[in-house]
């Protein structure tokens, strides 16, 4: 399972919102990141080191996935997932199925 599939599965409304935004900017002739992985990483910043508790739920999930993929450093994935206390399905998808 890649980032976009995992993100869309667990955060469908935010994924749809970001995809609509990407389509609208492309329709206006503006170049834009073309995957959910790229846009969430861009919005977080690849050197994100802030307080993750201030992030919206979808971006918390994106942060965990980026940490798993090595896109963002400085967080312990197991600790992050335990703190977030989300579903076992999300944790399983991130820990076992998520890959580049």
- Please state the domain count of the chain: 1
Residue 53 DSSP label: G
Residue 32 lies in domain:
3-97
pLDDT at residue 96, rounded to an integer: 92
pLDDT at residue 30, rounded to an integer: 75
Cβ distance 62 to 40 under 8 Å?
yes
- Cβ contacts of residue 41 below 8 Å, gap of 6+? 62, 66, 71, 72
- 10 Å Cβ neighbour count for 54? 8
Cβ distance 32 to 26 under 8 Å?
yes
| pTM for this model (two decimals) | 0.86
Chain segment 41-97, per-residue pLDDT in tens: 988 986 787 777 788 889 999 999 999 999 999 899 998 898 888 899 999 999 999
pLDDT at residue 33, rounded to an integer: 61
Please determine, for residue 1, whether its predicted confidence score (pLDDT) is greater than 90: yes
pLDDT at residue 28, rounded to an integer: 81
Chain segment 22-32, per-residue pLDDT in tens: 888 777 877 76
């Amino acid at each position: 399972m890649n980032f976009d599939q995992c993100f869309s599965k667990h955060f469908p409304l935010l994924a749809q919102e970001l995809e609509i935004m990407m389509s609208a900017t492309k329709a206006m002739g503006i170049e834009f990141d073309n995957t959910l992985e790229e846009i969430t990483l861009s919005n977080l910043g690849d050197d994100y080191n802030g307080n993750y508790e201030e992030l919206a739920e979808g971006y918390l999930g994106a942060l965990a996935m980026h940490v798993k993929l090595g896109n963002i450093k400085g967080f312990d994935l197991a600790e992050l997932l335990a703190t977030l206390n989300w579903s076992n399905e999300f944790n399983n998808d991130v820990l076992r199925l998520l890959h580049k």
